[in-house]
Every structure is written in structure tokens, then in C-alpha cells.
Amino acid sequence: MSVWERKLDVMKRYDATARIYDLQYGQEQRMKMEFILKNLDLSQYALVLDVGCGTGLLFEYLRGKVKLIVGVDISKNILLEAKRKLQGGCEVVLVQADADYLPFPDGIFDVVFAVTLLQNMPSPTATLREMFRVANSQAIILVTGLKKSFKLEEFRRLLESFSLKKIFDAKGLKDYIAFLHVKT
């Protein structure tokens, strides 16, 4: 399967499951969000990018803590679900785009999240490169890697060239959680 065929397949899968995504995966996703935010002080960050934002579950946790959230996803239907759920709090902008070709200038985001994304990407390295491109020089990047898709050492090796700060293998979570720092 080509890169574009794989991306089209992912888009179709998420388009088809958009309405039931939160019922199927919401609890698991919330556990990841809570773990991440327990280990991250957002008070110094204003502009957040959520790559592969899905139905916007992260927005619930960031509301009132940051100035602006930009949510990006390749699936139109999943973005429609995110839009339907939006209400008050911080400003959220939703953009349909490919995570490997983000439509933003270099170095503008303070924090970049990619929760439940990398295992869906044909080249996680290319995706990480693109996230680092749009992150500013003081940014933190948070990514998860599905344990059934990545062995811990494989995930660690992938992230080491991207300024890996810490990786968590928390019990009860189906993903590894990694904190990366942009170094300039």
C-alpha cells in the first residue's frame, strides 16, 4: 500500500467511525490526557497544536488553561464531531490537513500534542519532523505510541533523535507517552 493509500485508508476509517469514536475510545483517551496533563504545567503556554485531534477530547482539558488551540485532523467527519462538541472557554480553530504537511509557518506553537497519531502514519519520522518544524524554540512536544504498534525500545529509538526528555510506560495505558523538547 502506498503512503497516500494508507493515509486515505486512515481518513476513511475515522470518517466512518466519527460518531461513535468517543463511545469506543473516549475513556482510554481521557486516561492518556489526564496522565499527560498531570505531568505538564501549561501555565506558560499560550498557543497549542493538537495534531490528529480527533473529536477534540483534549480541548476539554485545555479549556481555560491556554489562549488558543488549533486542532488538525485528516478526517472531515471527525472534525465535524469536534466542532459539534465545542463550547466556550478558550478559542479553538479546527483545520483539515495531513499531519505530514501542516499548513502553518515555522516555529509558532508553544506546545504540540500528537495523541494516538504516530501509529497511523506511514513515516512517523516525517510526522515528527513536521511537528518540530511548526514548534517554537522553547516548545514541548507530547506524543503517544500505541504499545501494540511499537515496542518500547523501538519507540525510544524513534524519539531519541527528536530531543526525547522523558518516556512513560504507565500501567493501565495502552500507549507510551513521551515528552520531547525543541532544542535550537
- pLDDT tens by residue, 112-133: 999 989 999 999 999 999 999 9
**Model-level pTM?**
0.87
Q: Report the distance separating Cα 14 and Cα 161, nearest Å.
A: 30
For the segment(s) 3-181, the CATH number from 3.40.50.300, 3.40.50.150, 3.90.79.10, 3.20.20.450 is 3.40.50.150
Distance of CA 64 to the CA centre of its chain: 19
Q: Report the distance separating Cα 91 and Cα 67, nearest Å.
A: 7
CB 72 within 8 A of CB 9: no
Q: Report the distance separating Cα 127 and Cα 15, nearest Å.
A: 21
Contacts of 13 (CB under 8 A, 6+ apart): none
Among 26-40, 65-79, 119-133, 135-149, the minimum mean pLDDT is found in 26-40
CB 51 within 8 A of CB 102: yes
pLDDT averaged over every residue in the chain: 89
Checking DSSP bridges between strand 91-96 and strand 135-146, what pairing results, if any? unpaired
Q: What is the pLDDT of residues 38-52, one digit of tens each?
A: 888 887 888 999 999
pLDDT, mean of residues 145-160: 93
CB 129 within 8 A of CB 144: no
Q: E strands within the chain?
A: 47-51, 68-73, 91-96, 109-114, 135-146, 164-168, 175-181
**Residue 142 pLDDT exceeds 90:** yes
